[in-house]
Structure 1
Amino acid sequence: MKKIQDLKCLNGLTLKLLAMALMLCDHMWATVVPGGQWMTNLGRLAFPIFAFQIAEGYARTHNFKRYLGRMFLFALISELPFNLMTGGGLLFPFHQNVMFTFCLALLMLRLADLGRARGPVWHGLSIVVACGLGWLLGTLAMVDYSGAGVLMVMLFHLTRSLPWGWLVQLGGMIFLNGVLLGGMQLEVSLFGLELTLPQQGLAVLALIPIWLYNGRQGPYNRLVQYACYAFYPLHILVLAVLWLYVL
């Protein structure tokens, strides 16, 4: 057991910085480096890491309303830059930024926990309702990663304390990314066999750094906190402006 714990070498800030770097790779591919297929392949790992951290943040926060409010504020701030990057203009109602995905996920986590005090049956029912509603709202609202993105946050929350949670996470990630999300297909040659795999299935590899998380937050203060939030709209705005007006 001690040897396993020794392998857990990544704190919360390190995970966040890794996810930010992977997200930047993906967004650069979508804008200023369109030919770098490897960049978007790497970028598939970003969302699950962020989803895991949202689940961790929900479990650890002392003020849910403030946490949700901060997420919603940056969702609003990020929407215009995101519209520029995805739709080429200030208005693009067919795809909402990932902060809205996480806002929905936080609300569904809260809903799932409502039945906890009334016993396992009510808790189970509230989880089922939250999962169904989260998937439906995420899909209808056209948030980033759709309803499956909301379910991914819930997956990490619900398996957080399970003894064999890693196994459920593995199965859930394969289903959510390989089946529900899928996306572009990659041709892979393995032992002489030509295989076609969904690109989004690469997101399953994000479990490796997630499982190396040691439960510690790492160096953190209000400046670091808001810098991490601000990175999302700022880097999108810079890339969108370069893509649309400079390059």
Structure 2
Amino acid sequence: MKMTVKSHLNVKYFTQKTVVLAVVSALMFIVGGFLVKEYKINALEKSIRMLNDKIKALSSKHGEISAATLHLAAMLFMLMDHLWATLLPAQDWLTCVGRLAFPVFAFMAVEGYFHTHSFKRYALRLLVLAVISEVPFDLMYGGTWFYPFHQNVIWTLLIGLLSIRIMEAVRETQKKWVYVIVVAVVLIAGAVLGTVCMVDYYGAGVLTVFVFYLFRGRSWWCLLGQAAALYWINVEMLGGLMYPVSLFGAEFELCQQGLALLSLPLVWLYHGRQGYHSKKFQYFCYAFYPVHMLILALVLSYINR
């Protein structure tokens, strides 16, 4: 099977594209959301409402997915992706499944923002985790203790959450039109900052966090907004490997990064239930990220020596 690569990794090109798409994204999120709320696109609304009803029925019948389950699932997806990146590069299916990890982490980070008792402590924990994780991340991806050209994903989430803090502070104290302007500015600034700092997933990753903030909720237009925005971010902004697919005589290409959209049914089955929780489990979830990367990096170094 021949694969083509839709490469968006040139930083200058990606920064320019990020600015353009961030501006358009801001307009799409704000204007599009307003129009949908005000004028109700009837046929589309009916279809999405039916989908939402089916999701609710499924979660009622088979049980909702708790926050703990989502965390464990995302950790498993991430581990599979990192196994592909280090020890099993020939197993492409691992990174295909791994595409589901980041949207789930972004979603849970936003939920954590709205459920935490102290944002300062929440942000501080992420900051400490980001610093601790940087060396294992650099060892795994760069093969060295210090690799300044790619930062770990916790920085991506942290930029997104700090930006949300700014938007929420304005929303709570200012008029609606001020909030709209600030959202547009923060969307652009956050996306550009993520790209310039070369955090994991660049500005597209920061925008993914914004998606779950701006389209937070279970209304039909929130589901539609999440799906449309994630398609745009993952296929148009990030791109990547393109798999040729033949279906019923039709030939087309499937973007590997677009498989990230398969994470949406999982987050849609989450209804706010925390599930299992303890301090040990919380510390395990935090420690898993740097520890598993360090182990993979050490094993890879041992194999290659």
TM over 0.5: yes
| Match of residue 83, structure 1, among 138, 144, 154 | 138
- Give the match for residue 23 of structure 1: 78
Q: Report 1:53-68 matches (<5 A).
A: 53-68=108-123
Deviation at 1:125, TM superposition (A): 1.4
- Give the match for residue 144 of structure 1: 200
CA distance in 2, matches of 1:127, 1:217: 29
- Give the match for residue 46 of structure 1: 101
CA offsets, 1:158-199, max 9 Å, x none?
111362200100100100101111112122222222211221
Deviation at 1:124, TM superposition (A): 1.1
- Give the match for residue 180 of structure 2: 124
Give % identity: 47
CA distance in 1, matches of 2:300, 2:71: 26
- Give the match for residue 166 of structure 2: 111
Q: What's the secondary structure of 2:65's corresponding residue?
A: coil
Structure 1 residues not aligned, in runs of 5+: none
CA offsets, 1:12-34, max 9 Å, x none?
00001000000000000001111
Q: What's the secondary structure of 1:144's corresponding residue?
A: coil
Q: What's the secondary structure of 1:115's corresponding residue?
A: helix
* 8 Å contact kept, 1:113–1:126: no
Match of 2:202, as an amino acid? S
Q: Report 1:139-218 matches (<5 A).
A: 139-161=195-217, 163=219, 164-218=221-275
Q: Which protein shows a greater Rg? A: 2
Match of 2:136, as an amino acid? P
Q: What's the secondary structure of 2:165's corresponding residue?
A: helix
Deviation at 1:112, TM superposition (A): 1.4
What is the TM-score with the length of structure 1 in the denominator?
Answer: 0.96
CA distance in 1, matches of 2:57, 2:83: 38
Deviation at 1:123, TM superposition (A): 1.3
- Give the match for residue 16 of structure 2: none
CA distance in 1, matches of 2:154, 2:170: 26
Higher RCO, Cα 8 Å, sep 6+: 2
Residues matched between the structures, number: 247
Q: Report 1:89-108 matches (<5 A).
A: 89-108=144-163
Deviation at 1:222, TM superposition (A): 1.5
- Give the match for residue 282 of structure 2: 225
Q: What's the secondary structure of 1:114's corresponding residue?
A: helix
CA distance in 1, matches of 2:114, 2:207: 16
Query: Where in structure 1 do 4 or more consecutive aligned residues deviate above 3 Å?
Result: none
CA distance in 2, matches of 1:153, 1:133: 14
CA distance in 1, matches of 2:136, 2:215: 34
The worse-fitting range, judged by mean Cα deviation, of 189-198 and 25-34 is 189-198
Q: What's the secondary structure of 2:240's corresponding residue?
A: coil
Structure 2 residues not aligned, in runs of 5+: 1-52
CA distance in 1, matches of 2:126, 2:167: 19
Q: What's the secondary structure of 1:186's corresponding residue?
A: strand
- Give the match for residue 135 of structure 1: 191
Q: CA RMSD in A?
A: 1.4
Deviation at 1:137, TM superposition (A): 0.3
- Give the match for residue 68 of structure 2: 13
* 8 Å contact kept, 1:104–1:150: yes
CA distance in 1, matches of 2:168, 2:270: 24
